[in-house]
Structure 1
Amino acid sequence: MSDDSQQNPLRDDTYFLEPVFFKVEGTLFQVPKHLFSEIEVFSTTFTLPPGEGIDVDGSSEGHPFELLGVLKEDFRAFLQAIYPFGLQTHASMTVKQWISVLKLSDMWGFEKAKILAVNMIKSHKAIDNPIQKWLLGERYNVPVWATDGCLELVMRNEDGPQLDEIEKLGLSKALLVENTIFQVPRHHFSESEIFTTMFKLPAAAHVDVEAEGSSETKPLELLGVLGEDFRAFLCALYPLYPRDHESMTPNQWISALKLSDRWGFRTFGDLAVQNLEKSMNEVDPIDRILWGARYRKASWFASGCIGLAKRDDGPSVDDVEKLGTKKALQIYKMREMLIQAQSNPNTRKNIHDDMVNVIQKMYIEAAAELA
């Protein structure tokens, strides 16, 4: 053997395992890097070029790769699964640990570990309960479990899902508004990205962790929402009787529109607008102006301005407070235009155009104020 080969040995292609360092909840972990290199979220980070004089995260104990939002017990179970210390390591792991493996492998897109976790959980026969099967399937993207759980629940001999099961499945949601609890079906709330995010199941390994909104004892509190607005909003979403929508007042529809606009319910916002259009002439001109500006409806704004300008007594002190002095003065200017048009019919065309210009300017300014 040459001196060079003794002084400069070659690294084995397979079993020269480079370490990677992780920090989870203040605890350091050092493991072989090769399996994490198969996970895209990590491999991308590992291949980023380091800055000059800066160590790459995960390259040493002093520069670990910190996994935020990951529980130490979950990560330890994940490592046990992908780096078993002995032949019996997998057999000795609990269902809770395998659910931790399923959770992180689904989060990171590590299909090998996910398949292993699914098979091991099945071998434990730990999810014979259809509710658990459904929840785990939905939470960790195992479609066959979600489907099987649903079918088993529907086809069992009992009278369908019980109330506590409905709450666990999240088919209904408990919401707290101004110290009043509302419980309604979940399905329409899926239109709102805000609520979809809030209703996500908790990222915990235990199936029985209670999420906000899951029950009357754990409602999701909606801060800054008026009870009367929320009742009107629910009436729009979930009419209890066929003619409920017809009996809603413009003020109730504007409440529904307000919350639809706030939470991103486009379909129900459009429904509110359609119903408001039918009765907009019955709405006070001041409200038409304010609603038109707030919800970007130029026709409401214009009809409110004209209605207020034509009103016998013009803007009141309260109206001025609601509109602001500048808008009120412009309304008075329009009143003068209308009086002039009545006294001199030949000027009506020009005055009409002038009024349109005034309203357009008011609308643009009002929209800019709310932007």
Structure 2
Amino acid sequence: MTQERYLSKTVSQLKPSGIRKFFDLAAGMEGVISLGVGEPDFVTSWNVREACILSLEQGFTSYTANAGLAELRVEIVRYLQKKFNVSYRYEDEVIVTVGASQALDIALRAITDPLDEILIPEPCFVSYGPLVSLAGGVPVPLHTKAEDQFKLLPEHIEAAITDRTKGLLLCSPSNPTGAVLNKKELEQIAEMAEKHDLIILADEIYAELTYDEAYTSFPSLKGMQERTILISGFSKGFAMTGWRLGFVAAPAALSQAMLKIHQYAMMCAPTMAQFGAIEALKNGLQDVEQMKKSYRQRRNYFVDSLNEIGLPCHLPGGAFYAFPSIANTGLSSEEFAERLLLEQKVAVVPGHVFGESGEGFIRCSYASSLEQLQEALRRISIFMKNFQ
């Protein structure tokens, strides 16, 4: 008897995460410096941890409302208004989720009918395509280029439009490239959304981590809030990855559809994490600014050093990733990553796992201490001498 015959065809055809392969390899080796993890190296601020502990001591261990604590949703609405100039109703337009990943999952399932096409700029985070497929849709990659700093252009969208196109999944700042779309560039995409009646899934989980210009939230653009599902959370900017807390904000008709899925699949996000998030929004933004300042310093040092070593890299405008080209080595991105790990014990992620457009590049996270970055660069420099 083979259990495989019981599996869903959709799930059977999904590829395992390419990132996990290299995490597993690195985990079995001593002395590895990992530049592969998309996670802040900061510990969650003490006042946030303390608020969580206090909620436990006070016995707040039961379910919350499906959409999350009302106080947290109020704080999310205030935060979005003050920080990004977008206004939502906490009562029926905001849902607290188990990370931004769950927010994206319920958003896609709420809007996607079988064979609907969702446009996805690549390189992109590894879960985007699989989540579209699991929702019954068809992921359609839009191939961006290094010479454009991996930014999505209107012509990419125009060329991919069919009568089945339902929406566009937009991530700015981008994982893995760090690309940030400015207001003018977003307005051009907004024009395409209007022209082709697209719904936009705006993954803005890295919105707090932009370094060179003011951030523009997509739903803040004229006429775009009504056709945008805003996805964000606390993992990256607030250094709360393990708390698994995100949120989604959208017009009520969309939000309430997502809430139905959330009710059946998840019930609610963890109660104690929600109390921590309230404190993060009320009194944690100064800590976010300090982390952002540190990331910016590391980014400048790390990207300058990569270019000096012989790995051409554009200056990413946000997130905490560098995406250098390894084309001059003659290796595939997977060969490069495997050899670098085995020969110099530095873990990076091969670019091809982020889509076909990522081949010839590697993703390096600079969310590590300066000392670790310096040592990693020293080892990479030794490795690169093989190709000079």
TM class by smaller structure: under 0.3
Larger radius of gyration, structure 1 or 2? 1
Higher strand residue share: 2
The structure, 1 or 2, with the larger RCO (C-alpha pairs under 8 Å, 6+ apart) is 2
Name the TM-score, length of structure 1 as normaliser.
Answer: 0.21
Higher helix residue share: 1
Name the TM-score, length of structure 2 as normaliser.
Answer: 0.20
